[in-house]
Amino acid sequence: MARWGLIPAAGIGKRMGSAIPKQYLKLHDREVLAWTLEAIQRSGELSAVVLVLNPDDQYFAGHLAREFPEVICVSGGNERLNSVARGLDKIAELGKDEDWVLVHDAVRPCVRKEDISKLIAELAGHETGGILASPVRDTLKHSDANGQVRETLPREQYWLAATPQMFRLHKLRAAIRALEEKNAIATDEAAAIEQMGWPVQLVAGRSDNIKITAPEDLPLAEFLLREQARSRAQD
């Protein structure tokens, strides 16, 4: 069974407050998306990577396409869910129902090869798939509508979801399609699988697999990438 990478990158990054989409902001003078694509490809475990772009996106073709000529580009939809659906359609043309799809956020450039390999190895025999996640380490509070603490939650069974999220192609397509038909939204692929009643396995990954959502995340990502490069140089 083949394994396919799928990176939805059609968003415009409203929360970032930037004039350009956050996947094209620079880390060490290089686009966030370039770091992400390199990290996914470095795993060496994927048949191909499908990149879902905004229909009006001209940046990738003008700045990154030459560096990543093997990436398969398709146009996305209005929401992440719709963009993932378009990417899955393309993979379905190329692959088989039982193939694996690893969906990864375009703005998680710090994912490590070791975590991707761990995800693939631990889910190899799973009927549905699972996700990289990290256990919650801080004290967890539940608030009311006024921002007052309602209760302190036991953190032992809470996890922070990350990506890649890896699922069987035919099951993920069915789950996404079911949400589209109801005009519903899911914040990640696991939520789509969950609403079908299918099991989702948690695979413990590193907490430094951060998602860039706010300006203060950029210097942290630069630091993490610099440390990763230093570690690879020492190996």
Q: According to the model, what pLDDT value does residue 15 have?
A: 55
Q: According to the model, what pLDDT value does residue 44 have?
A: 92
Interatomic CA distance for residues 138 and 136, integer angstroms? 6
Interatomic CA distance for residues 160 and 209, integer angstroms? 11
- Give the gyration radius of the chain's Cα atoms: 18
**Cβ-based neighbours of 65, under 8 Å, separated by 6 or more:** 71, 73
Reading the chain (235 residues) residue by residue, the pLDDT tens digits are 899 999 999 987 555 556 789 999 999 999 999 999 999 999 999 999 999 999 999 999 999 999 999 999 999 999 999 999 999 999 999 999 999 999 999 999 999 999 999 999 999 999 999 999 999 999 999 999 999 999 999 999 999 999 999 999 999 999 999 999 999 999 999 999 999 999 999 999 999 999 999 999 999 999 999 999 998 888 7
What are the chain's domains? Answer: 3-234 (3.90.550.10)
* Tokens describing residue 216: 């203060």
Model-level pTM? 0.94
Cis peptide bond N-terminal to 164, omega within 30? yes
- The CA-to-CA distance between both ends of the chain, in Å, stands at 31
Q: Is 130 exposed, middle or buried, given 0-12, 13-18 or 19+ CB atoms closer than 10 A?
A: buried
**Cβ-based neighbours of 232, under 8 Å, separated by 6 or more:** none
Q: According to the model, what pLDDT value does residue 187 have?
A: 92
pLDDT tens, position by position, 48-99? 999 999 999 999 999 999 999 999 999 999 999 999 999 999 999 999 999 9
Residue 91 CA, distance from chain mean position:
16
Q: Return the H-helix or E-strand segment holding 23.
A: none
Q: Which residues of 87-100 are buried (b: 16+ CB within 10 A; e: fewer)?
A: bbebbbeebeeebb
